[in-house]
Structure formats: C-alpha cells, structure tokens
Amino acid sequence: MPTVLIVDDDPSHLKIYSWIVERGGYRTVPVLAWAQPLAIPENESIDLALLDYRLGESLSAPDVAKQVRSAFPAAPILILSDMMYMPEEMAEHATAFVRKGNPEQLLQTLDSFLKPDRVQSKSSEPAA
C-alpha cells in the first residue's frame, strides 16, 4: 500500500486530510508542522508528500519542501492550498498542486502518481 506523508500546521486539517487519503486506499504518515526543523520520520518509506502551503509563522512551505526532498528524494511533492494556482515560490519544489476543498480531485491526483494503472483503466472505460 503506497504511503503518503501529510504535513500541515493545523491538527484538525491533518486529521481530515489523513482520513480522506486513507479512504482513498493509502497509508498516511501525518506530521504536525510546529517549528523548523520539521520532525520528519526518515525511517518511513514515503511514496508521496502532501504539503499544506500556508504553514505557521515559523515555517515556510519552500523550506519544508526542501527538507522533505532531502529525506525522500524520489517522492513527488503535492502542494495543497486554497489559492487558485501553484504559488510561484513552490514551482521549483513541487510536482503538482491541488486546491483545498475538493477531496475527489485530491484522490485523483494521488492516484495519478501512485496508482497510474488505476487511473488509466478509469479513463479508458466507455462512457455510459
């Protein structure tokens, strides 16, 4: 089962997104972002990282993305934000962008990176 690292500074958001991602068939490793450096569990096998863009005052999303990339160089990084587009400062760090408030889009994006065969079979099904 693919594993998703979820980083957020809000405990309730961390629970909600963990629940959504787990319902999508993934194992989650939630990390509450309180301060720099982030306590990333480097002994975990992470297949993808989902990072909240707006973190607390002591953390910046680019710094957290660099830390995640250092710990898990092969893992795609998805940015989760209420913004309409990928924040410019994240473009060099992130693989994809997902807007908050759309769990289906989040799961489709996760599937496209972690279960590409599943996404392909869905798109090749004939329309009813």
Contacts of 107 (CB under 8 A, 6+ apart): 20, 21, 24
Q: What is the DSSP string of 26-52?
A: -EEEEEE--SSSP---TTS--SEEEEE
What is the pLDDT, as a whole number, of residue 73? 93
| All domains of the chain in start order, with CATH | 3-123 (3.40.50.2300)
Per-residue pLDDT of 89-119, as tens digits, reads: 888 889 999 999 999 999 999 999 998 775 4
Per-residue pLDDT of 74-92, as tens digits, reads: 999 999 988 888 878 888 8
Sign of the torsion formed by the C-alpha atoms of 50, 16, 55 and 99:
positive
* Comparison of pLDDT for 48 and 63, the residue scoring more: 48
- Mean pLDDT score across all residues of the chain: 86
81 forms beta bridges with 99
